[in-house]
Structure 1
């Protein structure tokens, strides 16, 4: 089903956002968020998104963020926008004059699957407090834009010594012919990555975590990235080419597609 384009719709704590509400992210932007795709009012990995928001809220503000409240706010915003398919972001902020976390829900056009294969440009940047997904990440955005301007599709973030961590907006996985390898380094565990790890374990594909460096890349037969938009093969990192493993991609696509959806 094709969904017509619609302007972004924003609610703050369950009501249409006012100009005063929008001063919170504009001037008190210290916070966190999760991004999810809604199809027919259902979300893959919803419990993982809610757990992420709660954990980040505890980390940043020292208080929990109730998952039932967040789920209801997502549903209310979808009703307000009048859509069943959408890209949704849920932001948590703690303005100094409010005792409870302010929850902003934005509803936009549903994202289309990313065409591939992609080329990645390695960059010398690793996010601080990588386990928290937050807005306004300057370095991440800066290096991703540099990669796009250089003709790549994504930036591959690396720590000291060329240690691979994650993509600027994705997680990255490697295939060594036996196992799917996730970099064992500080990074955000994306919901799609977590769903793939769980699904691969159930289907018999081995999925492991171990350190990956740029010097190690020759040991891998295939590479892919994943996000809420799905799984995309990688054909190049810097000047090193990779073959797209069609059988692997079919398994990954199937695994992600089979992940259960929860209604909002």
Structure 2
């Protein structure tokens, strides 16, 4: 009986230089996976449990197995510690890796605290595939976002073929009708910042048509890096509602940070 030879390992070169360990890099270059992004402040993360749940759910859906929160905490704590930063922006990526999956953590400078810069958005007819996942391969988002900036806007606003608002290219969007914060319900990612804010504000989740945007009094975007007022969507202008922004930012400030590591220094849950 003969056996088939094992396939030769992948060979990768970058600018003509062979990669010493091409296995993990090949998984990253495959572009299939998901991630979550967070702000770390003094070793704590707002909504850390939601981030861990997101990672576990997406890993089960894409790769058929769990991603224990304790493992993520350990890898996150190790990367943050090695970076020498107590305050930082961190991302946890999960990539396809043959018979298993690979987990990578990146750590970079922290996003500025406080409100983000006012945003001018332009509507584009595009919805992310599998929009409920924070998946890799965001070519469409990047394409439309770059096109929006070249046209003089700050970001793209993704909409359905029926003209329903979904989300920003990299953030959730909400509208203020004077009584409630209205969160659109077209296919989108449930952002962690949105999930933390919605229960703390007078929120309504419902379809939002492009045609009704002039009826709103204000709008804002929210993601892991900032909460920012929206001053326009194409030709619809919104004033910056200082009272609303103070209320929204105050609600977010009240969210307690969860420790990455527990009191005994491990990565297990608190």
TM-score range, shorter chain: 0.7 to 0.9
Report if the CA contact (8 A) 1:157-1:165 is conserved.
yes
1:22 aligns with 2:25: yes
1:42-191 map, 5 Å? 42-96=44-98, 98-99=99-100, 101-113=101-113, 115-191=116-192
Q: Which has the higher Rg, Structure 1 or Structure 2?
A: 2
Report if the CA contact (8 A) 1:116-1:232 is conserved.
yes
Larger CA deviation: 129-138 vs 108-117: 108-117
Quote the offset at 1:141 in angstroms.
Answer: 0.7
1:259 aligns with 2:258: no
Larger CA deviation: 78-87 vs 246-255: 78-87
TM superposition score normalised by structure 1: 0.87
Report if the CA contact (8 A) 1:230-1:253 is conserved.
no
Report if the CA contact (8 A) 2:171-2:223 is conserved.
yes
What is the rounded CA distance, in whole Å, between the counterparts of 1:119 and 1:230 in structure 2? 15
Q: Match of 1:56, SS?
A: helix
What is the rounded CA distance, in whole Å, between the counterparts of 2:25 and 2:112 in structure 1? 27
Report if the CA contact (8 A) 1:230-1:256 is conserved.
no
User: Partner of 1:196 in structure 2?
Assistant: 197
1:32 aligns with 2:28: no
What is the rounded CA distance, in whole Å, between the counterparts of 2:24 and 2:72 in structure 1? 18
Q: Match of 2:97, SS?
A: coil
Quote the offset at 1:111 in angstroms.
Answer: 1.7
Report if the CA contact (8 A) 1:87-1:110 is conserved.
yes
Paired residue total:
240
Gaps in structure 1 of 5+ consecutive residues: 1-16, 201-205
Root-mean-square deviation (CA), in Å? Answer: 1.5
TM superposition score normalised by structure 2: 0.85
Gaps in structure 2 of 5+ consecutive residues: 1-19, 261-270
What is the rounded CA distance, in whole Å, between the counterparts of 1:148 and 1:118 in structure 2? 11
User: Partner of 2:7 in structure 1?
Assistant: none
What is the rounded CA distance, in whole Å, between the counterparts of 2:251 and 2:220 in structure 1? 14
1:247 aligns with 2:243: yes
Q: Match of 2:78, SS?
A: helix
User: Partner of 1:216 in structure 2?
Assistant: 212
What is the rounded CA distance, in whole Å, between the counterparts of 2:252 and 2:226 in structure 1? 7
